[in-house]
Amino acid sequence: MIQLAFVCTQNAARSQMAEAIGRHLAETRYPGLRVCSAGARPSGKVNPNAIRVIEELGISMESHWSKSLDEIDSDALDYVITLCDDAAEHCPVIPGATTLHWGLEDPACLQGEGEEVLAAFRMTRNEIKRRLLRLLATVESEIF
């Protein structure tokens, strides 16, 4: 079994999308995978555009909430993946966990709900999925 945590500053968009995609992959392809997310300074809410673009994939984010690092079981983690430079700087070292940094632009920095904003969220979602699938392919023997 492999346990991953995705960390960004607010735990509102990038890390939430990564958690949702990871959990979906755990349900459909990688039963030995456990995924969570957290924020260095959680916002307390999940970005509605993140919810929308994840639901376009048929994945529900109904049970998601913005949480802090203190709310996840860091002792059980195998990988911590930071998704922004701020989180990489403020994420504590988790003994026994491998830390990876996937610096991704924050689509939530764009204002509004128009197609340009949704396109940025979709690009981030797709990049997260691509990187996650690549990571899982390299650690697949540890998952089963």
Q: What is the pLDDT along the chain (144 residues), one digit of tens a residue?
A: 899 999 999 999 999 999 999 999 999 999 999 999 999 899 999 999 999 999 999 999 999 999 998 899 888 999 999 998 887 787 777 888 999 999 999 999 887 668 999 999 999 999 999 999 999 999 877 766
Domain hosting 34: range is 2-137
Quick one: tokens of 98? 């491998």
Decide if 144 is inside a domain: no
If one counts the domains in the chain, the total is 1
Decide if 8 is inside a domain: yes
User: Cα dihedral sign for 61, 45, 35, 72?
Assistant: negative
- In Å, what is the CA distance from 71 to each residue of 90, 98, 105, 142? 16, 19, 25, 25
Decide if 103 is inside a domain: yes
CATH of the domain at 123: 3.40.50.2300
Decide if 142 is inside a domain: no
Task: Give pLDDT tens digits for 43-74.
Answer: 999 999 999 999 999 999 999 999 998 899 88
- Please list, in sequence order, all residues whose beta carbon lies within 8 angstroms of the beta carbon of residue 83, skipping any fewer than 6 positions away: 6, 7, 8, 14, 15, 18, 102, 103, 104, 128
Which residues are annotated as catalytic?
Answer: 8, 84, 91
pTM of structure: 0.93
pLDDT, position 144: 60
Decide if 109 is inside a domain: yes
Decide if 107 is inside a domain: yes
pLDDT, position 92: 74
**How is the beta sheet containing 79-82 ordered, strand by strand?**
33-39, 2-8, 79-82, 98-101
- In Å, what is the CA distance from 120 to each residue of 59, 106, 108, 140? 18, 9, 9, 30
